[in-house]
Structure 1
Amino acid sequence: MEKIKTVLITGASSGIGRSLSLRYLKQGATVGICGRRTEALEEIRTQFPNAHPIVFDMTNKAEAKKCIERFVSSVGSLDLAILNAGNHKPTDARDFDLESYISIMETNYFGTLNCLDAVIPAMKKQGRGTIAIVGSVAGYIGLPQAGAYCASKAALMRLTETLCVELEPLNIDVKLISPGFVKTPLTDKNDFDMPLLMDVKKASDRIINGITQNRFETAFPRRLAWGLKTLAILPKFVFLHIAKKMLR
């Protein structure tokens, strides 16, 4: 991969997105840092003149497209787009809340599509680029109390696989990032034990390394990823028996 000069990162206000933004900024790249929290983005800009705060709600398709197009036009090209922004909220069908399911899908899946609506044409026009979509190991199976989140990440995984095949002829490289539990403000809300919880800086290292490698998916930590992949290929009656034991 050639040296990355221009980057767009969604969910840059905190967590993985912020950590990745700081890493690329320190490397000298021009980075469009996207999010909804103006103060958090401006705080990054005060440290790095090569940071470009882009404040928008990714669930607003017109706003997302306009803001990303404006950034690409101002910097001239887009080498890498990391579509990382997402949301999680525990859900339980025994107390079904439709709005929670809709909200999570709108942010995690449709929000990513809204950003792709500007990113793909920009990279198609310039004849190159890399798109990294952040899913989750939770997309491998349906986990109790996380049905909405797992569904949204599974949708992202299938979408990313398709994009990888369809965009390759346009010289656009598409990669899937599948993290496990990473210590961020989002996971701080969880009230259950999170196996193999990873520091955000270490997670950022894995993601950046994965983007530079010639492979489609970067999943970590490996023990958790392979454990869930194994559950996914078990006969369904076996998996469902195990999942029922997970139900709190």
Structure 2
Amino acid sequence: MKPFNPPLADWQGKTAWIVGASSGIGRATALALLEGGARVAVSARNGDALEELAALHNDAALPPRVIVLPLDVCDAAAVAAAYAQLQAMAGTVDLVLFNAATYGVLRADAFALDEMLVHQQVNYVGALNVLAAVLPGFVARGAGHVSLTASVAGFRGLPKSLAYGPTKAALTNLAEVLYIDLHARGVGVSVIQPGFVATALTAKNDFTMPALITPAQAAEAMLDGWRRGAFEIHFPRRFTFWMKLMRLLPYRLYFPAVARFTGL
């Protein structure tokens, strides 16, 4: 089967920018790419965590393998400035992964507009700010790859996901449209659909998380997906299979099934 995207298999000499790299999946992906030979730019609000990562991999006598670019994804000017700095330091950027996210448990009977808007600004508008910075150059060059981290929580409505789920559904739709528009232009697009991964965000959950995996396992699945030229990279499959199946159910079956399986 022909891959959706040009496969990203050999990272030697390539540069990746991970936005949302201070912990969890983003940090693990940075480590995996570094192990594969890539130069990695890392961004997040937590500059200290980024500097710690860089200190483990940079040699003062050599060009940096880890480029630290602290930023807030909600600040469009800061995102654009960081990308300009990266281009000045590294030249061509081969992969941009938008992985920044916030997550808070919220149900409709405790609706909080401020919480809804924070999720929107970080999880979705943050992605738009990154795209605004990188896409013009990618399109002009006819190369490059954009990857957006969504979530299986965006597949369909789920309890306690009032603020988080819609933003992830939006990212999936955004990735689909980007692929349609950019594939013929030579620009790769992929969407990451993690199940439960043991991170600081999922640690907020007060329920048993089925098929929980480590950030390192998530990073391995992502690199495998890029290597295969996949559009949708979902993991772990023993869990995402069932979530995909739930997407096919009509509402008269879906709503009772969710109530049964979640006990809510």
The TM-score range, normalised by the shorter chain, is over 0.9
Amino acid at match of 1:30: R
Match of 2:180 among 165, 169, 186: 165
Partner of 2:257: 242
Partner of 1:201: 216
Equivalents in 2 of 1:47, 1:126: separation in Å? 33
Matches within 5 A, 1:95-244: 95-244=110-259
1:28 has 2:37 as partner: yes
Equivalents in 2 of 1:44, 1:172: separation in Å? 29
Partner of 1:17: 26
Amino acid at match of 2:36: Q
Partner of 2:92: 77
Amino acid at match of 2:39: T
User: Aligned-residue CA RMSD in angstroms?
Assistant: 1.3
Equivalents in 1 of 2:185, 2:71: separation in Å? 28
Do 1:78 and 1:122's aligned partners in 2 also have CA atoms closer than 8 Å? no
- Pairwise CA distance, 1:242: 2.2
Do 1:7 and 1:30's aligned partners in 2 also have CA atoms closer than 8 Å? yes
- Pairwise CA distance, 1:193: 0.9
Amino acid at match of 1:31: V
- Pairwise CA distance, 1:112: 0.7
Amino acid at match of 1:159: L
Partner of 2:3: none
- Pairwise CA distance, 1:69: 2.1
Same amino acid, percent of matched pairs:
35
Match of 2:46 among 37, 46, 51: 37
- Pairwise CA distance, 1:73: 2.6
- Pairwise CA distance, 1:26: 2.4
Q: Which moved more, 1:196-205 or 1:228-237?
A: 228-237
Equivalents in 1 of 2:134, 2:165: separation in Å? 25
Equivalents in 1 of 2:251, 2:87: separation in Å? 46
Q: Which moved more, 1:235-244 or 1:75-84?
A: 235-244
Equivalents in 1 of 2:206, 2:68: separation in Å? 32
Q: Which has the higher contact order (CA 8 A, sep 6+)?
A: 2
Equivalents in 2 of 1:235, 1:75: separation in Å? 49
- Give the 3-state SS of the residue equivalent to 1:55 in structure 2: coil
Partner of 1:94: 109
- Give TM-score, length-normalised by structure 1: 0.96
> After the TM superposition, which parts of structure 1 deviate over 6 Å for at least 4 consecutive aligned residues?
none
Deviations for 1:170-208, whole angstroms, at most 9, x for unmatched residues? 210101110100011111121111111011111110011
- Pairwise CA distance, 1:247: 5.3
- Give the 3-state SS of the residue equivalent to 1:123 in structure 2: helix
Deviations for 1:208-232, whole angstroms, at most 9, x for unmatched residues? 1001113211111113212112222
Deviations for 1:4-28, whole angstroms, at most 9, x for unmatched residues? 3100001110000001111112223
- Give TM-score, length-normalised by structure 2: 0.90
Amino acid at match of 2:246: L
Matches within 5 A, 1:52-63: 52-63=67-78
Do 1:77 and 1:126's aligned partners in 2 also have CA atoms closer than 8 Å? no
Equivalents in 2 of 1:62, 1:237: separation in Å? 46
Long gaps (5+) in structure 2: 1-6, 59-64
Do 1:72 and 1:122's aligned partners in 2 also have CA atoms closer than 8 Å? no
Partner of 2:56: 47
Q: Which moved more, 1:38-47 or 1:20-29?
A: 20-29
